A and B are shown apart, each in its own frame.
Chain A
Amino acid sequence: MATVNEGKVVLFGAGGPVGASAIISLKDHYTLRVTDLRPMTEVAAAPPQNPRAPIPEVLGPPHENRVVDITDYAQVLMACEGMDAAINVSVVRPHPVLAFQVNMVGAYNVAKACVACGIKRLIHTGPFHTSLGHNADYWNDFQVEADIPLHPGKDLYAVSKYLGRHITRVFAEREGLEVLTFVYTHFRPREILPEEHGQGVYPYSTSWEDTGEAFLYGLRAPEMPSPYEDFFICARLPHDKYRPDKAKRLLGWEAKDRFEALYTRP
């Protein structure tokens, strides 16, 4: 059974806002090993990725903070030792070398280390690029669900993450590792400022708060129908363009934030 109701969870790339959201939601339920390329104290002291994005909290014992370079397998393996589950929220977007190193090789290192350490559930993360400018990006479609095959085209960030997803899929199908891939597009804060009312909302949006909570559901969900499953982690919006129904069906998770004030005339 891959369900992880309690125990130890390692987070990779936790210095970003998705990691910050995960820490908030998981810290009272699991013992966390929080890792990033930079020391977490340094991450926490730096400005946020954007003005309203969360900054990771630096946790004290029994949690642990550790510097881990995800491109170094030995470091990743040590970080996975003794863990019950792993969450990989690492990402590099524009760099022509590091994008492949982190998004693809990093995914390989994490999946391989999970298998080596007997970890049964890995939550992997990645983007869903809704508008890549070619005719296979689903931009003109509606009722799009999580099991569609992605077509990243030549976008560096999209294609390098796409390769990482395929690597984790192969590990899931070949090695008995259960991989849940959470897919995102646009994040925003739960709080809607007065000046935002009626300004519209992107059809694939998730609040930071819901983003974090989904990890708790992901860890606690029952065994999946297949060893590898993709999930749209977003609000069910009336646009009916992107449907996160699979997350509700298999994880029991649905977004609390629906952003009505954004798409309703003030």
Chain B
Amino acid sequence: MRVAVIGADRPWGALLAAELGVEFEVVAIGAEETSDLAGYRQVDLLQREALDPVLAGVEAIVHAAGGGPAGDGEGAVLDTAARSTYVALTAACAVGIEKAVLLSDLDLMRDYPEEYIVDPQQWNALPRAEAGSLAPLMAELVGREIARTGRCLRFGELGAETTADDAVEAVRQALTAERRGHDWLLAHVASSGRFA
């Protein structure tokens, strides 16, 4: 399966692009100019015209660009999260890609009391009224509305709450899961801590 990892210039995207290459033919895409990844391609992730041609022949996408890069203003953080997801998923639909995995953030659930058993399918996201907290929710809402046959995986901090091995395995399973029609699935990928 040919899989595009969008946001391969971000920590989770870079990890997944490298590790998924063992099983899949990975197309690593990011907004930054350079990357150590083989075959990495720089693309403006906010423009359909730039992304569409890169997705030719791709069968699934992993969207890891939902969070804004550090240092951006609040508007840019929100815009990057929402619009990059919108661009990625509409582009995927346009070329007939039927499977998408969207990476999100366990921080959306962090403000529930520690003693609650928080299930991703049954508990609403609880972001704060701050752009950085709202950004992953914007990406999730766009993803849910457009994909509805995709997977959304909420990760914790790389290497701490969510280990690299567990993250790669979760994405691998999401990419190979059987499609079941309208099928938006939220999952928490935590190796330790309250969401494990």
| Chain A residues near B (Cβ < 8 Å) | 71, 73, 96-97, 100-101, 104-105, 108-109, 111-112, 115, 151-154, 156, 159-160, 162-163, 166-167, 170-171, 174-175
Report if A105-B79 is in contact (Cβ < 8 Å); known contacts: A162-B141, A163-B141: yes
**Interface bits B131-156 vs A (CB < 8 Å: 1, else 0):** 10010011001100110000000000
**Complexed CA–CA distance, A100 and B90 (Å):** 15
Contacting residue for B145 out of A104, A115, A159, CB 8 A: A159
A107 CB → nearest B CB, Å: 10
Nearest CB in chain A: distance from B45 CB, A: 13
Contacts of A167 in B (CB 8 A): 78, 134, 138
**What per-residue 1/0 map shows which CB atoms of B115-139 lie under 8 Å from chain A?**
0000000000001110100100110
Q: Is the interface of B mostly helix, strand, loop or mixed?
A: helix
Q: What is the CA–CA distance of A167 and B142 in the complex, to the nearest angstrom?
A: 13
22 contacts between A and B (CB under 8 A): A73-B75, A100-B78, A100-B82, A101-B75, A101-B79, A105-B74, A109-B75, A112-B74, A112-B129, A115-B129, A151-B145, A152-B145, A154-B86, A154-B93, A154-B145, A156-B86, A159-B142, A159-B146, A163-B82, A163-B141, A170-B128, A170-B137
Contact with A along B59-85 (1 / 0, CB 8 A): 000000000000000110011001100
Are B129's CB and A100's CB within 8 A?
no
Interface check B89, CB cutoff 8 A: yes
Contact present for B131 and A108 (CB under 8 Å): yes
Chain B: how many interface residues by the 8 Å CB criterion? 23
CB-CB nearest in chain A for B73: A73
Q: Determine whether the beta carbon of B75 is less than 8 Å from that of A105.
A: yes
| Least distance between B192 CB and chain A CB atoms (Å) | 28
Provide the residues of chain B in CB contact with A171, threshold 8 Å: 129
Give chain A nearest CB distance to B50 CB in angstroms.
12
Task: Report A-chain residues with C-beta under 8 Å of the C-beta of B48.
Answer: 96
| For the complex of A and B, 5 pairs with smallest distance between CB atoms | A105-B75, A174-B129, A171-B129, A154-B146, A100-B83
Smallest Cβ-Cβ distance to A166: which chain B residue: B141
How distant is B129 from chain A, measured CB to nearest CB, in Å? 4
Question: Which residues of A sit under 8 angstroms from B142, Cβ to Cβ?
Answer: 159, 163
Residues B88-107 near A (CB distance < 8 A): 89-90, 93
Interface of A is mostly: helix
Asked whether, in the complex, the Cβ of B129 is within 8 Å of the Cβ of A160, the reply is no
Q: Cβ of B129 and Cβ of A105 under 8 Å apart? A: no
Alpha-carbon separation in the docked complex, A166 to B127 (Å): 10
Contact of A162 among B79, B90, B93, B145 (CB under 8 A): B145
A92 to B: closest C-beta gap in Å? 13
Nearest B residue to A111 by beta-carbon distance?
B129
Instruction: Output the least CB separation between B108 and chain A (Å).
Output: 11
The one of A100, A154, A175 that contacts B79, using a Cβ cutoff of 8 Å: A100
Q: Which residues of B contact A112 (CB under 8 A)?
A: 74, 129
The distance from the CB of A11 to the nearest CB of chain B, in whole angstroms, is 21
A16 to chain B, nearest CB (A): 22
Query: Are B141 and A154 neighbours in the complex by a CB distance under 8 Å?
Result: no
Determine how close the nearest CB of chain A comes to the CB of B125; give it in whole angstroms: 9
| Smallest beta-carbon distance B18→chain A, Å | 31
| Residues in chain A near residue B129, CB distance under 8 A | 111-112, 115, 170-171, 174-175
Q: B89 and A154: CB pair below 8 A?
A: yes
Known: A112-B129, A163-B142, A170-B127. 20 other contacts (CB 8 A): A96-B48, A97-B83, A100-B83, A100-B86, A104-B79, A104-B82, A105-B74, A108-B74, A108-B75, A109-B75, A153-B146, A154-B146, A159-B142, A159-B145, A159-B146, A163-B82, A166-B141, A167-B134, A170-B128, A174-B128
| Chain B residues whose CB sits within 8 angstroms of the CB of A115 once the complex forms | 129
Q: Which of B78, B89, B128 is in CB contact (< 8 Å) with A104? A: B78
Distance between Cα atoms of A104 and B84 in the complex (Å): 14
A166 to B135, CA, bound (A): 11
